[in-house]
Amino acid sequence: MLDKFREFVGHHVAFSVFFICLIDCIFLLYTANSLSISYSEAEIFFNKQNFLSHVLNLSVQIFGQTDIALRSVMIAFHVISVVLMYKISKFYIKLEFDRLIAVLLFILLPGTLASALIVNNAGLCVMLALLCIYFFHVKNKILFVAFFCLSFFIDGDFLIFYVGFFIFALYKRRPTLAWLSAILFLLTLYFFGFDTNGRPSGHFIDTFGIFAAVFSPFIFIFFVYTIYRIWVKEKKDLLWFIAICSFCFCMIVSVRQRLELEQFLPFCVIATPLMVRVFFNSYRVRLPKFRKGYKICTTLVMLFLALNWSMIVFNQIFYLFLDSPTKHFVYKFDVVKELAAKLKEAEIKDLYTDNKKLALRLKFYGIDVRDESKNLLVSADLDGKSKFCIEKMEKVIANFNVRGR
């Protein structure tokens, strides 16, 4: 049966990738519609003046100020990244079936899913990094240089990306690429800087745990093994230099201080083709009777990833099992949209609240929060009575009242 599936994939590659992207996109839109804007996302949308904020505002102006319009930008970045991942994988993986597995693994990674839904620079960084790598491999120098230089304007997030390219250029003896990477690295350091102030504090274990969460524990262990194996035994490719620079820098610097890992993790998750190549190379050198352990491990890991993906997509169901709704991992992405809808039903168009984060989030849904308003919004106990009760899965997760000032 597996052989027939491989044969089908080999003859219908384009359809397989399109079908995967379509299914992925449908579920991402479903999840996006169930979320509210968080405070950090509202900060980017209203207060930041960067490339991402301009794209988000343009999307909202065209499609309306809704969560779908906001998060569809990140989903679009994600879909482009999936297609690019398939395109790039041909430079690292020979068989079409293996390339499709690389795409599936990339989609199922928790970090990839988060970057497709959460509004921050991570999804944009993944897409731009893959664009640069793709145009580099196809030897399109004009587009490569264009996107490579464009990445400079993404809030300094590509600092370690330039380091990876610089070391790769030195290794391959490409002086032009080395000079370009070095110049962009120095410009990024000069204009955006890198914070090393403050009292030294160890965050190595925390950083290690975040990496494990982004990859999932089993995949993260194999990621470290892949980086090590290529270092000691296999051909060193561009993806390897980028991934090892990002990973090692995070691990070393985390001994001293906490890092903004959103600036480094995107350049590790793009190493998916390397992991798939190392796995199938190890799998195929063994006789069929010795492959059973590999098949069992692969099945369990993919099932675990699929389960984890489903838990994120259908996250609302976990409210049923939590005594305190605030402990839900997406609670900061809930409540506000439903609260704004109830306020509009009550014809309350303006109000005042001491919670500045809540105020900025409500602004996205058309609620005018101002100091001179006569309506005071206050939160209430979950067990008490309130005028505005927010429910998920028929369970109260937040209560609010509006009083006169």
Q: What is the pLDDT of residues 178-191, one digit of tens each?
A: 999 999 999 998 88
**Partner residues linked to 122 by β-bridges:** none
318-344: pLDDT as tens digits: 888 888 888 888 999 999 999 999 998
- Identify which has the larger pLDDT, 278 or 197: 278
Cα 350 from Cα 369, distance rounded (Å): 6
Q: Does the pLDDT at position 193 exceed 80?
A: no
Reported as a pLDDT band with limits 50, 70 and 90, residue 277 is very high
Asked whether the beta carbons of 89 and 136 are under 8 A apart, the reply is: no
Could you tell me which residues come within 8 angstroms of residue 348 by beta carbon, excluding any fewer than 6 positions away? 367, 375, 402
Residue 142 has pLDDT above 90, yes or no: yes
pLDDT above 90: residue 146: yes
Q: Decide if pLDDT at 123 tops 60.
A: yes
3-state secondary structure of 397: strand
Confidence of residue 285 (pLDDT cuts 50, 70, 90): confident
Q: Quickly state the pLDDT bin for 385 (edges 50, 70, 90).
A: confident
8 has a pLDDT exceeding 60: no
* C-alpha dihedral (59, 48, 78, 163), degrees to nearest 10: 150
Enumerate the domain spans of the chain.
2-34+66-313, 325-404
pLDDT given for residue 387 in this prediction: 81
| Res. 61: pLDDT tops 70 | yes
Which one of 129-133, 193-197, 289-293 scores highest in mean pLDDT?
Answer: 129-133
Instruction: Tell me the CA distances in angstroms from 109 to 161, 265, 268, 325, 334, one per residue in order.
Output: 21, 12, 11, 26, 23
